[in-house]
Structure 1
Amino acid sequence: MASVAGVDSNAVERLKAEANALHREGSYQAAYQKYSEAIKEKPDKAVLSILYANRAASCLALKEYMDGFHDGQNVCLCQISSSKSDHLFSQAAKLDPTYVKAWARMGTAAHVLGMWSACRYAWQSALACLPTANLTDAQLILERQFKEGIKAADAAEAKSHSTAEKQLMYLNKDSSAPWDRALALAEENQLVEGELPSSGFVILDAYRDFVRGIKAMQQIVINRQGDNLRIKAIPNALIDITNGLLRDTRVFHADSRFFEQLEAQIRYEGEATAAWGSGGPKRVQKEAIARQRKEGWLPVRRALSVTVRAWIIKGFIDTNMGSLISGVEFYQRTLDLLEWGRRTWHNVASEDRGIIFEASFVRGVRRLHLPAVLRLYLKEGVQSGVSLETIANLARELMAETEASVRPPDYLLNPGFYASFWIYPAAEALSIIGWYHMQLGLQRIDSKLDLDQEAVKTFRQASQYYIQAADRYPEDEEERPSMLAVALEALWWSETPLRETLPLCRRIRAAMSKSATLWKSSQKSVTNQNAKCKDAVQFLIACEKELAEGTATLDSTLVPTDLVSNPFP
């Protein structure tokens, strides 16, 4: 058996060959494991570069872009300087900075993650590895690919900045925000408590957390001296910002300096706690256990908290700025890490392992992840790699986990927390299960809009789930009338008579009145996302007129004309 400097070269080559074969046949997770085993043998730099680059390819095939980026980084560079929007960098061992494949895989992963500076840097570095003259046909193809990568990164970054500016334009509008209304009602003891507490508790608690974090972050001082960056900041701002978003994302608002300050805050807290600035769950899982054994719980808990919260914020921003693949990636990898931590440290007290591994925290991340996956599916369809069944299963898992989770003994004394992590997850899960049945019903309708009994049954199931979702929400929640409105739409599709649809219309009208107390100036209201509710009220008025005139009866199956003309919204 050949051996060089204590390295079993035959074992390395055997593992590498097995990994390559597994990758070629599409067994990417198994390939990743084999590459990892070969890496553990600590071969020379040339072989190690190939192993890391190949493992990066397996990560990309698994859509685990964070770990794929880090493996490319392991090969190519010691450090990338952080710049706007790129928070996820760290030191790594330089093995072969001329390895074109590693740079290309870094560029691919960085593009998906929305790390535009890193993406350009990777493609430019890949380009620099090619000869300057007399390129072969294969090298010309690579040159064109690398230049296209740079061009695509520039275009995507410009688009993301434009989206951010539009988002901030709305967020900076001065209006009577829901949290202001909630505060006024709370001061007058007019927010309903009990088993189904007012949504005012939810938005008010979320606002207090979020604003506390924002105000702390705004104290940051950034000094740039050439390539050097010195930051003075208040620690733990990320805790409050993410807590606010986990409670209710509608609390998000920002000014024009938000993104610059956020990047600096993440960098500051990451460096202060030695958080993982690069890589994904696979890297963190490997290193966290070793660090805990060596350093104890306190430093590891802090590092894990900053790492996870940075991922959550990145996922939130990317999802809301249109980078849906990146947003889903950050949420999914966050869940991967949290679920691993709950399994690995299930006997460790919360005070040691940290709040991030509590069931309620994980459920909060699921609430962010599920709609992001849904939005990705709606944008890209099956090309996203997501199916209707995937979304339905995620919703069912969220519902089952919420129902199985024991409420805190003081839940009635902390209505905002209870609602955010028990009431709202169940309601949202039910609504997405309703959406799933709605899509199945629409798929059964042919171009002539002929209904069969299975389609009718499916639409009615959708309506029932939406009604259940509405009933789970607080009575003054703006989503309650919206859920009822989609339930009504499902009944229209199933040709349900007026004796069932009109009572639902009246429920929608009453729910709109109750929710307006808090949500009259919400983003949903201002941008007319509650148009279905208004349509339901207009439908009610028109039908009541026809009933009074005798041109319709309660057995009539009237539907709005635009439903027939636009069956697939």
Structure 2
Amino acid sequence: MTTAVELKAQGNALFGVKNFAEAEKMYTKAIETSGDDDSKGLAVLYANRAACRLSLKRYMDADGDAKKATNLDPTYAKAYARLATSNDCMGSYDKSKINWQRALDALPKTNLKPAEEVQKAQYEAGLKAASAALTKLENTVLGQDGRTFIVRGEGRMPWDLAAAIVPRLRVQRPTAGSPDLYSSAWVIHGAYEDFMNGVRLMSRIQPREPAGKWAGMLGAITSLTNGILRDSRVMHFPNGDFITNYNKQVSFEAGAYNAWTEGGPEVVIREALARQRKEGWQVTRPALSVTVRAWIMRGIMEGDIYNRHDVAVEFLKNALHVIRTLREHWILESKDDRGIIFEKTFVFGIQRLYLDAIMQSYRDSAGSTEILADLLKESEALIREIDEALRQPRSQDPVDPGFLSSFYIYPKGQAYAMKGFYYNKMSVKGNNDPPAFFCKAAIEYLAAAKCYPEDDEHHPWFLHVALGNMLNARSFPLRETLDVMKRIRVATPKAKEIWERSSLSAAGVWDTLGKVATQEQELRDAVAAGKFTLDACIGIELKD
């Protein structure tokens, strides 16, 4: 039988050649083989596995391993350093600052060896960087970049405008052209009602003894996440106490349900299976729900508020991993036992957020083709899964008019748009045939636009992005180009009725879309004057 020492040596060799996945397996076997009486040796194995998981970008699992290492050996400087690194990677700079200092404190005070001198310099640099990041975070005014996150301000917000339209939709008779009264008003109105119910529940949070404990109303995190999964554009600060109250609410609900507040997906999966066998569904179901929903909220906040999109990817990816893994274990269990988080619609909502986080992390990267490949893979998977789900008989339980759009059609539209983004970026990555990639991008963005009603801002915007790719491809006849321009012109005022004030509008989308109508008229005049034919494939530069 291979000993723990031998397995560790094999892990070290694999780590040395950067085969982190196989090294992690060896350290795991070494941990399983090692005796509990060797706490310092076990601490080294956990710290080494944490290093592998950091390299594999599994930051939450790395965090759990590093904590085990420091618990086993509180004098182990490297373990604190790896814990601090995982904190940095997840944007927890307050914890990072503490753990970098602990790493320094664990080093000898005098007569440092050359290797320890190097460690000291690294830890001091880590402490300085964490302190600077924390200071910057504490002095950042949130919501000023105008991308996705909105601070509640004066004026009519999309949910306000939708609330005025929904009563009209309720009494309006369906027509052949709109049998289901297809409108984005249903989606954002439903999202807002769920989100604000969470805000109202959250406002009831109160301190109780002992200090640091809270009392309040359960269910706030469920309502907040339900609203965001319906339409993430509903995320905003209704008041200045939102983040403070939210943090208190998470502490309260996590304590009430014994949810997982430490450790990554590996820990949650293992302990959830054990808890269900020992304590049953009534205990396990709410604990899992709060854990997964808190990760979703952390993902949306990291991405849309703090612009740490790689951290958002980590939390959303882990939420999906836990749900998918446990669903396989509990595939024969009933929906009521497992809970809503295991329903396909819930997962589709997370996948939509995950795609956006991946795309934003690509923009933060130096043009990583690996991230682009992940984006394409996840987008194609989501489209397949939704198509398969739509072919299956669905529950006859009554749902609101925006349910199908929120949890099937909009996520599919997002996936098509992400495929379009992929092909557009690939067109400039040294390929021999850029027009072919522009053509594919245009087709995917046109498919994305079809998934949104004309009165959703995404409909004319994705048409506009498709138009830009069509013109770059120079392979679409002018009649098709003019048709897309007309569709933009027709949809823009409808979308503006609801989305006049949104994060997309803050980026100047309405001015951009308005200029398309001018260019459309110029092209139609050119055709009438005989300068072009409708079959001509031309390229023009869109006006900003």
What is the deviation of 1:34?
A: 3.3
Q: CA RMSD in A?
A: 2.6
What is the deviation of 1:117?
A: 1.4
Does 2:292 match 1:270?
Answer: no
Q: Please give the alpha-carbon distance, in whole angstroms, between the structure 2 residues aligned to 1:140 and 1:356.
A: 49
Residues 359-438 of structure 1: pairs in structure 2 closer than 5 A: 359-382=344-367, 386-405=370-389, 406=392, 408-410=394-396, 413-438=399-424
- The one-letter amino acid of 1:22's match is L
Q: Is 1:46–1:96's contact at 8 Å kept on the other side of the alignment?
A: yes
- The one-letter amino acid of 1:345's match is W
Q: Is 1:242–1:309's contact at 8 Å kept on the other side of the alignment?
A: yes
Does 2:252 match 1:260?
Answer: no
Q: 1:210 is matched with which residue?
A: 195
Distance change (3 Å), C-alpha of 1:33 and 1:112 = same
What is the deviation of 1:236?
A: 1.7
Residues 530-545 of structure 1: pairs in structure 2 closer than 5 A: 530-545=510-525
Q: Is 1:70–1:279's contact at 8 Å kept on the other side of the alignment?
A: yes
What is the deviation of 1:12?
A: 2.6
What is the deviation of 1:155?
A: 2.5
Q: 1:88 is matched with which residue?
A: none
Does 2:294 match 1:315?
Answer: no
Gaps spanning 5+ residues in structure 2: where? none
Does 2:502 match 1:518?
Answer: no
Q: Deviations over 1:435-469 (max 9, x none)?
A: 22222334468xxxxxx8x4333322222221121
What is the deviation of 1:531?
A: 4.9
Does 2:16 match 1:24?
Answer: yes
Q: Deviations over 1:394-436 (max 9, x none)?
A: 1101100111113634488532121111111111111121222
Residues 32-431 of structure 1: pairs in structure 2 closer than 5 A: 32-41=24-33, 42-43=35-36, 44-76=38-70, 94-161=71-138, 162=140, 164=142, 166=144, 170-189=150-169, 194=179, 197-222=182-207, 228-254=211-237, 255-320=239-304, 321-382=306-367, 386-405=370-389, 406=392, 408-410=394-396, 413-431=399-417
- The one-letter amino acid of 2:382's match is L
Q: 1:441 is matched with which residue?
A: 427
Q: 1:79 is matched with which residue?
A: none
SS in 2 for 1:231: strand
Distance change (3 Å), C-alpha of 1:274 and 1:409 = closer
User: What is the TM-score when the length of structure 1 is the normalising length?
Assistant: 0.87
Q: Please give the alpha-carbon distance, in whole angstroms, between the structure 2 residues aligned to 1:431 and 1:123.
A: 41
Q: 1:462 is matched with which residue?
A: 441
SS in 2 for 1:415: coil
- The one-letter amino acid of 1:373's match is I
What is the deviation of 1:179?
A: 1.4
Of 95-104 and 33-42, more deviation after overlay is shown by 33-42
SS in 1 for 2:144: helix
Does 2:457 match 1:474?
Answer: no
Q: Please give the alpha-carbon distance, in whole angstroms, between the structure 1 residues aligned to 2:506 and 2:516.
A: 18
Q: Is 1:377–1:386's contact at 8 Å kept on the other side of the alignment?
A: no
- The one-letter amino acid of 1:121's match is I
Q: Please give the alpha-carbon distance, in whole angstroms, between the structure 1 residues aligned to 2:153 and 2:275.
A: 46
Q: Please give the alpha-carbon distance, in whole angstroms, between the structure 1 residues aligned to 2:160 and 2:137.
A: 30
Q: Please give the alpha-carbon distance, in whole angstroms, between the structure 1 residues aligned to 2:485 and 2:397.
A: 33
Q: Deviations over 1:459-516 (max 9, x none)?
A: 2222222112111212221111011111111121122453332221111000112212
SS in 1 for 2:110: coil
Q: Deviations over 1:182-214 (max 9, x none)?
A: 221112236776457211111111111111011
What is the deviation of 1:149?
A: 1.1
Distance change (3 Å), C-alpha of 1:444 and 1:536 = farther
Q: Please give the alpha-carbon distance, in whole angstroms, between the structure 1 residues aligned to 2:525 and 2:128.
A: 59
What is the deviation of 1:122?
A: 0.7
User: What is the TM-score when the length of structure 2 is the normalising length?
Assistant: 0.90
Q: Is 2:516–2:542's contact at 8 Å kept on the other side of the alignment?
A: no
Does 2:480 match 1:500?
Answer: yes
Q: Please give the alpha-carbon distance, in whole angstroms, between the structure 2 residues aligned to 1:32 and 1:336.
A: 18
Distance change (3 Å), C-alpha of 1:513 and 1:160 = same
